[in-house]
A and B are shown apart, each in its own frame.
Chain A
Amino acid sequence: MKILVCISKTPDTTAKIAFTDNNTKFNEAGVQFIINPYDEWYALVRALELKETVGADVHLITVGGADCEPIIRKALALGGDEAFRINADSADSYYIAAQIAAHAKEKQYDIIFTGKETIDYNGSGIGGMVAELLDLPYVSIAAKFDLNGTKATINREIEGGEEICEVSLPVVVSCQKGMAEARIPNMRGIMAARTKPLAVVEPVAADTLTSVVSFELPPAKAGVKMISPDNVAELVKLLHEEAKVI
């Protein structure tokens, strides 16, 4: 069994969001970068659980510059076996998916896990695009993944509930909360990660179909209007007359 986990570098959840260069670049000053939480807590850990229960080689892939290596090393420290960094910078999901698909085509994985989205671009696009480029089935926003031989049973979130589906491997799955319990790397894992293979691979030719023109911050809130707990009727009145939401 071979599993590929797609890893993205994102700013920490609590990072202050600001932009530079006339609002065309994310301001990285003072920002800590982490593995995209959905990639780490759910996609990677579920892959590691499968490695422990049914046996699997867990490969990691990221598309990005050398600054992605600390997070890939962390993913190795958690238990990944081998890592691949596609040496390219791009924010376009099609370009990134094309790189992952080219790698996966060569290596023939049984399962490709991604997070349900990244917490920076929130595109939720990579899984579906990789599946399409490889002509594989795709199950999105999965909360549970069970394996029985070469058949997977997956719980997928839908509006107001869940859908339980079955699919034969190989499959691409995007993961959310529920898939696995987050882990932290231990010292043995950290030491072992230093010697695990991390291959730097040059990108394949692929088109970039979108580009970021600029960023902007939402308009500042006018500030909270406090209402006395003894006068809740005033709140109802404001919600009707001022905010016009009831």
Chain B
Amino acid sequence: MSILIFADQTQGKIKKAALEAVQYGSKIAAQLGTTATALVLGPADDTELAALGNYGATKVLHAADARLHEVESTVYTKIITEAAAKENAIVVIFPHNFDGKAIAPRVAARLKAGLVAGAVSYPDTSNGFVVKKSVFSGKAFANINIVSEKKVISLIPNTYPAVAGSGTATVEAFAPAINDADFKVKVVKVETVSGDIPLTEAEIIVSGGRGMKGPENWGMLEDLAKALGAATASSRPVADSGWRPHHEHVGQTGLTVRPNLYIAIGISGAIQHLAGVNGSKVIVVVNKDPEAPFFKAADYGIVGDAFEVVPKLTEAVKAFKGKG
């Protein structure tokens, strides 16, 4: 018996959400009196693989096959279920990110395992195997009992921040039984914005809305984000007007984010926007309109003109960081 965690990588680096999943899986393993094995597919160097021991994995399976560079759900499912059988895994864990959403349901169907997608708690095993998950776009939680023998869970990023310990893991090469015909979807091009922090992994996000009046005013938000070490985001009208790229759009139709700090500038806070950010630990709202609905969901609020408040805030952050 074991817990298997799919630790996805990008360009050889294990994703932050995957480190969180490994840590989460290793704690479940401890809870169930077993061990945690992390599975890495595609390129990753030995240091990166061994470091998974710091997050609680005692074993790392690595399939270095170059064909696994990009995620292909059919073949990934085949490999993950093969690893699950080899490790006699009773629970398979994924980060609830783009890769996890693509693969976890397939693996669950293949293993005939109940799936909790978007978990926000450790399992309660006092009466069944009950995992809390986010539902109604973050407006509520459901406690779900997985009744099948095998279980699949995907963990929402930023739920349990990954904290490196001093554990060690043995790294084992894994050669799954795959052939070219297993690859059904061919990736022809990958377009990522290099240098930016992916929003779903960002700890601090500075987000702008229509109140910013135009794309030419975004420099101000970028300055604040830079001072904070934050990523920038936008509301839907901003993305729809083409002021900012779609991949920065946060909300019900865009990305769901759960940073430690979400700073909303000039965003009124429509329910669709809140659905994408209500998992944030702390929300700061800056808006000219004291009646903006976002203030109801905020922890801290400033009623004021963004064009006056933001530069002052940037200076205050810089002064604070200078002292720190």
Residues of A participating in the B interface, judged by any CB pair closer than 8 Å: 11, 13-14, 17, 19, 37, 92-94, 97, 116-117, 119-129, 131-133, 136-141, 143, 153, 156-168, 176-178, 207-218, 221-222, 224-229, 232-233, 235-240, 243, 245-246
Contacts and interface: CB of A to CB of B under 8 A. Distances in A.
B193 A133 contact: no
Given A122-B135, A210-B144, A222-B299, A165 B186 contact: yes
Contacts of A124: 101, 105, 117-118
A69 to B, nearest CB: 23
B140 interface: yes
Given A158-B98, A245-B282, A214 B143 contact: yes
B106 A233 contact: no
Contact of B309 (A156, A164, A229): A229
A208 B141 CA distance: 20
A36 B304 CA distance: 37
A137 B212 CA distance: 42
A159 B200 contact: yes
B74 interface: yes
A229 B304 contact: yes
B313 A216 contact: no
A216 B108 CA distance: 25
Contacts of B101: 116-117, 124, 128, 140-141
Nearest to A178: B246
A122 to B, nearest CB: 6
B144 A161 contact: no
A224 B309 contact: no
Nearest to A137: B184
B67 interface: no
Majority-rule SS of B interface residues? mixed
A92 B114 contact: yes
B299 A127 contact: no
Contact of B191 (A141, A164, A167): A164
Nearest to A233: B316
A111 B25 CA distance: 36
A246 B261 contact: yes
B188 interface: yes
Interface residues of B, number: 99
B313 A236 contact: yes
14 contacts: A13-B252, A122-B135, A125-B117, A129-B115, A140-B73, A161-B191, A209-B146, A213-B145, A229-B303, A229-B309, A235-B316, A243-B282, A245-B282, A246-B204
B103, B105, B249, B302: most-surrounded residue (chain A CB, <10 A) = B105
B140 A17 contact: yes
A228 B198 CA distance: 32
Contacts of B128: 213
A13 B104 contact: no
B141 A224 contact: no
A147 B138 CA distance: 35
B73 A138 contact: yes
A133, A168, A213: most-surrounded residue (chain B CB, <10 A) = A213
Given A160-B198, A162-B191, A227-B300, A215 B117 contact: no
A123 B156 CA distance: 12
A124, A240, A246: most-surrounded residue (chain B CB, <10 A) = A246
Contacts of A139: 73, 185
A212 B143 contact: yes
A122 B154 CA distance: 12
Contact of A128 (B73, B97, B139): B73
A19 B143 CA distance: 13
Interface string B218-252: 00000000001000000000000000001101001
A127 B101 CA distance: 10
B103 A159 contact: no
A167 B74 CA distance: 12
B110 interface: yes
Interface in B116-145: 116-118, 128, 130, 132-145
Given A92-B114, A160-B247, A239 B282 contact: yes
Given A17-B140, A158-B98, A224-B295, A129 B301 contact: no
A208 to B, nearest CB: 7
Contacts of A94: 108-109, 112, 114-115
B51 interface: no
Contacts of A143: 246
A119 B115 contact: no
B109 A224 contact: no
B144 A211 contact: yes
Contacts of B145: 210-213
Given A128-B102, A159-B15, A164-B188, A177 B253 contact: yes
B190 A217 contact: no
Given A125-B117, A235-B302, A97 B109 contact: yes
